[in-house]
Structure formats: structure tokens, C-alpha cells
Amino acid sequence: MKLWLRNLIFAGGCIAVAGLVAGRLLQRAPMPGPQSHDAAAFASVEFQAAVQVVNRAFADAWQQAGVRPTPRADDLMLARRLSLALTGTIPSLEEVRALETVEELDRIQWWLSRLFEDRRYGDYLAERIARMTVGVEGGPFIVYRRHRLGSWLSDELMANRSYDEMVRQLIAAEGIWTTRPEANFVTVTIDPNNDKEGPDEMKLAGRVSKAFLGVRLDCVQCHDDFLDDKWEQRDFHRLAAFFAGAEMGLTGLRDNESREYEYRFLGKREAEPVPQSVPFFEELLPAEGGTRQRVAAWVTHPDNRAFARTLVNRTWALLFNRPLHSPIDDIPLEGPFPAGMEELADDLIAHRFDLRRLIRVIAATEAFQRDSRSADGAEPVTDEQERLFAAFPLTRLRPEQMAGSVLQSSNLRTIDAESHVLVRIIRFFQQNDFIKRYGDVGEDEFDELGGTIPQRLILMNGKLVHERTSDNIVLNAATRIGAVAPDHATAVETAYLATLTRRPSTDESEYFVNRLKTNVEQKKSDLMEDLFWTLLNSTEFSWNH
């Protein structure tokens, strides 16, 4: 058989297989469910009581403010929110089909069980925690491996390690930064131009207070708090003194307990020894143990509610793209606190800082399940409704969410750890290239920033969207849907599910079906490309709602 004929047969076979797979996805869901899902646990009196406590707090706040909550969002919209928050991408068509086979009352918790078993969850949250704790800079290459820290965080999250235990390991880590990846939290603070000085105790004190306690103690690094007389310069440096003994040796990171911390305070002529002391709740500081072990135990102590509140606030921000309290790293110790914060902190402490439990409780609340629109869509949602979470707040997707969603929408199958290695490699490079062009927000992920004209142009005319909507039956969902859909209405509906995670309205369906019917002079693949391009460039696609 001639070579060209064999290649033609092979290509035809690939197209046939792709079409068969696409056709099956348009009809049913072959994807297996989570292995360890217990529906009864989330229907239990205990779990529902925890959710209702939070619901009552929000209901009281809404009543006092005189705002009316929006209706409940549908299950597909809730699944989209959770996927964006926990994996950085929208659900695939395959996942949508699987979710719709689950009993309605169990869908959200079932969906969370599936996400928690997905390596994308561990990897995505690991990156969010890494940005919070060590930033986005490369750091000193010789003694810092950011990817090792990220892998360690991902493994800990997949094992559902308690959050307080993870934080204690980060703060008190010892050893080589490659074999003890948690040590990178400390070694990243080493000045690459002066590595003999060892880790920077002031950077560590600032990061620990902001990331884990929601306190901007680094604001008084150079002077006392002149605005509300809350903190003194000594508060910061006494906390920094706990990290002064951290140094590098032949066995890696270790503590030199004999090393003393000195600092020249504002208005003083000479440096003076600074004793180790915590800025609040001194009674929670253990008397025994190494210096970093002691401060790690103080930070994560169950009675140090600043720690619990900060995790609640950051987890809320992850799920809503907006924190309960803003700024995210400046929560008052004495309050007042926003509705739901204290109730969620109570449950978090009672369940030993189980992050998955916290996510499940928040996802089950009425606040998370509110629609972003009013009942009839005619009356606009007010800023006050969004501020009090009586309506789900509209926020722009972050760059990695945009890239992940464009890439996933163009695939009918889920792009995850089980995907072919070539699919994952292509996704990695295309996503990184898109983020580089679109703009990475860095550490300030929850600052409210408006979109820019260049960002819109990147979506409309950029390489990624063009490649992922063009005529390619092997790679792109648009072409495959157009090739195997039994009718125009099914093609339009499937395109909406793949991109916007919802079905089209009657008017939307009629409009696009009519375009597919009447434009007979154009190839169907070109029309489907236009439809996908339109949906990917819609405001609805690029916002969390």
C-alpha cells in the first residue's frame, strides 16, 4: 500500500475516533464519580446545623441593612464557581454531563468530592498558598526551589493535611530545602547578594503576620503606628527576634539558639538587643521548645483566633474572588467582624483546621449559592447587596483562570492529570504564554482591578483564542461539535455548555440556530468557529458570577 494512502487512512481513522468520542460526549457521561463521597455526611444534622449558623448570621445582616437576597443560582453555575476557585478553570463538557446525572440535593457536595480527588485542586491551591507565603519572585536560586515548595504544598493538600500543621511546618522547618521543601518558606528570604547573612528575620516576621494572622505588623517596622496608636515598632521587632537564630549550615536550615537579635530603633543612636515576644495573646506562647517551634505553636494555637479568621477570610476570597474582610491581610483583632466570619472560625477550630470542611461549609451557605442577578434580571443588583453577599459579587477572572477556561472550553474531555502527556504539555506552554501576554497580578490577587483594552484585544485577536476556535477536528471542540451534533439546536446548546457552563436561553438558541440554518454558503465549521469565538469573548465568559 502506498505511503500516502496509508497516511490518509490513518488520518481518517483519527477523525472518526475523535468524532465518535465527541458524539458520545454530546449524549452521555462516561466519567466516573469520586471514590470517597459520603452523601449522608453532608445531609447530617451536624453538618447542616453548621451551615445554618452561618446562614442566620448573613440573614440577620441582610435584614438589618434592609437588602433582599437574590434567588439561588442553578447547580451548573455553582459548579462553575467551584471549579474556577479550586482548579482555575471551568468544568469540561464531560464533567457537566457527569454532574447532571447526580441527584440534585447532593450535586454540590458530590462535585466538591470530585474536585478534592483531582490533582488540579492540589496544584492550583498550592500556587495560591505559595503566592501568599513566598510571593512570585524567583528568590535565591542556590538555596531556594519554589517548584519543590509548590509540589510539597500540593501533596499536603491532596492528603488533606490540617492547615495548622502545614503552617507549623513552614514556620519551623529545618534541613535541606530540596529534601525538606517546606524549608523554602524560610530560605526564600535570603539575600542572594549576601547569602552569608542567612534568612531575613524581618521579612519572615512580616510574612508570618500578614499571611497567617491577617495583621500588617510590617507597617511598624520603621516607626510606631502614628495613625491609631495600635502597634509599636518594638512589637514588630520582638516578633522578628524569633527568626534571628535561623541560619544555613552543612545540614541545611537550622536554628542557632545562642544568636541574639539586635536593632537600632527610631530615635536611638545604637542598636540594642531585642527580646523575643509576641504582639498579642502572650499567654498562648509555649515556654519550652526552639524559638521557631514556639512561635509556630503560638501562631496556630486554636485560641489565637486571628489565625482562624485569616484562613476563613482567605478561603472566602478564593471561593468568591473577594474576601469577607478587605484588605485581606488587615483584620482587626477586636472586631467588628463581617457576618459569618466568627461562625466559620468557630467551626474551623472545632474541626481542627480542616480546609476541605471549611470549603464545604462555605459552598453550602446561602451566601455562596446566591445568584449574581435579581429575580427577573430587570432590577440591577446594588453594591450593598454585593458587599453583604446578598448577591454573588461580579469579579473579573484572574489571568490563569482566563487561560485555563479558554483551553478547557476547546476540549470536550477534561484536561487533568489523567490527560495524555502531550495534551498537558501543550496546555502548560499555551497557558504560560497567555498569562505572560495578559498580565500576571502577582501577590495581590484579590485587589479589585479593572480590565484593560490590551487584555480585551488579546482575547479578541490573540493567538490562544484563534488557535482554540479554528477549524481543527482533532484539537478543537468547535469543529468536533459541528461535525457530530445531530441538529443545529444541539450544536448551539453544546457550545454554550462547553464555554459558559449553561444552556442558551430561548432567544439565544433561536438566534444562533437561525444563523447556522441560513448561512448555507459558509462551512458549518466556520460558523461554529464564529459561535465559539463570540462566546469566549463575551463578558459573561471572562467574569466570575
Q: Where are the domains of the chain?
A: 119-299, 394-545
Strand 252-255 with 246-249, pairing:
antiparallel
What span, in angstroms and rounded, lies between the C-alpha atoms of 177 and 142? 10
Q: Residue 9: its pLDDT value, please?
A: 46
> How confident is the prediction for the chain on average, in pLDDT?
86
pLDDT value at 32 more than 70: yes
Strand 262-263 with 252-255, pairing:
unpaired
Which tens digit of pLDDT belongs to each residue from 468-518?
555 555 557 777 888 888 899 999 999 999 999 999 999 999 999 999 888
Query: Residue written as cell 478587605?
Result: 326
pLDDT value at 164 more than 60: yes
How confident is residue 65, by pLDDT bands cut at 50, 70 and 90?
very high
What is the DSSP-derived secondary structure letter of residue 419? Answer: S
What span, in angstroms and rounded, lies between the C-alpha atoms of 61 and 51? 16
Q: What is the residue-wise DSSP string for 131-169?
A: HHHH-SS---GGG--HHHHHHHHHHHHHTT--HHHHHHH
How confident is residue 3, by pLDDT bands cut at 50, 70 and 90?
very low
Coil/strand/helix, residue 45: helix
Q: What is the residue-wise DSSP string for 1-41?
A: --HHHHHHHHHHHHHHHHHHHHHHHHH-------SS--HHH
Which tens digit of pLDDT belongs to each residue from 36-50?
899 999 999 999 999
Residue 272, beta-bridge partner list: 263
Q: Residue 455: its pLDDT value, please?
A: 62
**Three cell numbers at 510?**
433561536
Q: Residue 85: its pLDDT value, please?
A: 97
Mean pLDDT, residues 291-309 taken together = 97
- Give kind and range of the element (H or E) at residue 248: strand 246-249
What span, in angstroms and rounded, lies between the C-alpha atoms of 37 and 14? 36
Q: Residue 444: its pLDDT value, please?
A: 64
Which tens digit of pLDDT belongs to each residue from 336-389?
999 999 999 999 999 999 999 999 999 999 999 999 998 776 688 999 999 999
- pTM of the full predicted structure? 0.90
Which tens digit of pLDDT belongs to each residue from 176-215?
999 999 999 999 999 877 766 789 999 999 999 999 999 9
Count the residues in the chain. 545
pLDDT value at 103 more than 90: yes
Count CB-CB contacts under 10 A for residue 368: 22
Query: Which residue from 318, 332, 491, 306 is spatially nearest to 400, judged by alpha carbons?
Result: 318
Q: Residue 443: its pLDDT value, please?
A: 63
Q: Residue 251: its pLDDT value, please?
A: 87
